[in-house]
Chains A and B, each alone.
Chain A
Amino acid sequence: MSDPKNTFSLDGHEVPVTAGQTILQAAEASGSWIPTLCHHPEFEPHGSCRVCTVKLNGRTVSACTTPVRAGDVVELDTEELKGLRQNLVQFLFTEGNHFCPSCEQSGDCRLQAVGYALGVTGGHYNPLFPSRRVDASHPDVLLELNRCILCELCVRASAQVDKKDIFALSGRGIDKQLVVNAESGRLADTNLALSDKALSVCPVGAILKKRQGFLVPIGKRTYDERSIRERDLDRAKEDPQ
């Protein structure tokens, strides 16, 4: 038995916790998977997509941003929370233009993989079919805003790692969109470089290196051989945060 002074309850199981851990970190360390989209272990937690929503002592919180303490009671896989997470993912599909059948990120897309893992079999809500731009102005990078889920990973990577501030979110509510730091609004007029971290963190197919689509055959793509659950937990084991 774990020492109750250093554990919290996760769906009725006592799970060890160390000081300063978030719910997500403690859960992953114990082998429990919590789905995430806007989270990336190399950046400060963001808590914007809410796909990692759990209940902490009866209150809904984002697992990636909320610290957990010994004695806390966390609910993760209840029917209510599973339904809530499904809805959140369905909203993302509904708000954008996500056509997995012809998307080059299919099989490599975190949104698609989370959707499958959560049992999202359809959009459920009427799609909004927003009118969004494709910015192909950059010779080597394609910006496909139809697929952007506003996770701000590129914003954070560009600011924190690349020190360039190329990406930002602009607008309010449903009109919010990803913009680039150029007077023309064109990616080609920014100082983006192919080696930038911002190019490798997009969880969907919104920021793509050009002419790479479909080079990897079915069966060899990111989530073909190992599920997102397995990949996330293996990553957490290799690199405990």
Chain B
Amino acid sequence: MNGDLETAKDATKLRRIAIEPVTRVEGHGKVTILLDDQHRVHQVRLHIVEFRGFERFIQGRPYWEVPVMVQRLCGICPVSHHLAASKALDKVVGVQQVPRTAELVRRLMHYGQILQSHALHFYHLSSPDLLFGFGSDPGPRNVVGVLAAYPDIAKQGVLLRKFGQEVIRITAGKRVHGTGSIPGGVNKSVSPEDREELLRPLPEILEWAQAGVRLVAALHQQHQDLYDHFGTVPSSLLSLVAKDGSLDLYDGVLRAKDHQGAIIFDQVEPQDYLTRLQEEVRSWSYMKFPFIESLGPSEGWYKVGPLARVQNCDRIGTPLAEAARQELLAAAPGHLVHAPLAYHWARMIELLHSAEVIQELLAEPELGGSELVGKGPRGGGGVGIIEAPRGTLIHHYQVDDQDLVTLCNLIVSTTHNNQAMNEAIRQVARQYLDGHEPTEGLLNHIEVAIRAFDPCLSCATHALGQMPLVVELQDPSGQVVARLSRGVEPIG
């Protein structure tokens, strides 16, 4: 644990290095590092500097607008927000279980989303580090460089993503920011022609997805010490699992394990999330810090996302992905894998799983059914939880009797990983930067650790009205004559 690196004991006379923006991630963030004259690291923070406000301005809007509006939080995983909001609002329109066709269409949309987002992250954003080396020449260390040096891998990445986007277009109406899912169900099913269009490239997609898993597994085996220890900090894990314990990225119950793999809680229904999870704010970031309530804010942080999911579940229901999962588990017999770089491995296992699930869903006759929307007694609110590409995504709404939203709480995947990312970069700073003259290559190590979590910083910074603020009025000499603060914890 590197909690001592969150805030330097004495920040005077320290040199400040800022990595801004952090590159090859979604959204805008920066890392600040405070070093002394001997290049010893005293403070490392990942700051989320964007400012959104969805939780506030969704208030007063009609509930049926919400799934379409909130997905604008993100251009990479809008489907996850679209579906999490729809699932929450299913309860408002009195639907506990949407019609079978609606469930199949939503699942297809979601697994298309997972596939495209994972492909984007691995091939476009992270593969340059993994294929060329963290400290390699920054010139070609990007997707164009990958295209030149490894054209087959880059091409597969582009086409995998394209396939996922097509799944989304067919189910949601548009590749980005569609309208397919509505409270209570969906507004369209999948036609036989569309089904054919998606089935045609599937054999190649499955082949490339397996090649992706093999590539990451091989990288781990070739550089085992690096991949096992780079930024590794043990923590608890959180994810949805199906009620039978298998991997389910669309629906299920919450399960948390401690860093050794013991269950902290299991079978927690989504609407009870507040009994298990809490959030705190810190003065230096717009992103909240969630924690497991029973463990408290300092010990209760956890990881979400692919690495958490493949280890939190008891099994994966599709054969190729389950075999790949067993290989990952066998790499760390008897204990959980906490290495941030293993996220890439887990992510590619999920990409393969998504391709397999899409194949299964396309074989379902009811995917083209006509019963699209359910009905039931009107409710006052609901919670929708989904496993977005980056991790557990929670949407919680209350709606008044005039159909307007009165409360919106979003806990976004990257927010869950906030502490985990900060811990990882502090560990990397300690492992690689401490005592060394910082170079671009060394600083990229910090970014590599952040990228492993595939953060979406624009999704994660949405806490308008809840972030801490300090306003100081200074006289011309710089003396503070008045100070107002809200929600700021003491620093130092």
Contacts and interface: CB of A to CB of B under 8 A. Distances in A.
Chain A partners chain B: yes
B65 A104 contact: yes
Given A104-B65, A210-B62, A219-B173, A137 B402 contact: yes
A136 B404 contact: yes
Nearest to B67: A214
A102 B68 contact: yes
A136 B402 contact: yes
Given A101-B72, A134-B60, A217 B187 contact: yes
A142 B182 contact: no
Contact of A213 (B60, B62, B72, B177): B62
B64 interface: yes
A102 B72 contact: yes
Interface residues of A: mostly helix, strand, loop or mixed? loop
B174 interface: yes
Interface string A117-140: 000000000000000001011000
Contacts of B320: none
Nearest to A140: B403
B62 A136 contact: yes
A104 to B, nearest CB: 6
Contacts of A134: 60-62, 404
A207 B67 CA distance: 20
A216 interface: yes
B303 interface: no
Given A102-B68, A102-B69, A215 B182 contact: yes
Interface string B158-195: 00000000000000111001111010000110000000
A193 interface: no
A101 B173 contact: no
Given A101-B72, A102-B72, A215-B182, A210 B177 contact: no
Nearest to A101: B72
B62 A214 contact: no
Nearest to A138: B402
Contact of A218 (B72, B174, B403): B174
Interface residues of A, number: 18
A102 B178 CA distance: 10
Nearest to A208: B62
Nearest to B182: A214
Interface in B128-175: 172-174
B173 to A, nearest CB: 3
Contact of B65 (A137, A213, A216, A219): A213
Nearest to A211: B64
Nearest to A136: B402
A214 B402 contact: no
A161 to B, nearest CB: 26
A219 B180 CA distance: 11
A66 B441 CA distance: 72
Nearest to B188: A217
Interface in A187-237: 210-219
Residue from B62, B72, B187, B403 with most neighbouring chain A CB atoms (10 Å): B62
Contacts of B402: 136-137
A226 B331 CA distance: 58
Nearest to B72: A101
A215 B404 contact: no
Interface of B: 60-62, 64-65, 67-69, 72, 93, 172-174, 177-180, 182, 187-188, 373, 402-404
25 contacts: A101-B177, A102-B65, A102-B72, A104-B65, A134-B62, A136-B62, A136-B402, A136-B403, A136-B404, A142-B62, A210-B62, A212-B64, A213-B68, A214-B64, A214-B68, A214-B182, A214-B187, A215-B187, A215-B373, A217-B187, A218-B172, A218-B173, A218-B178, A218-B179, A218-B180
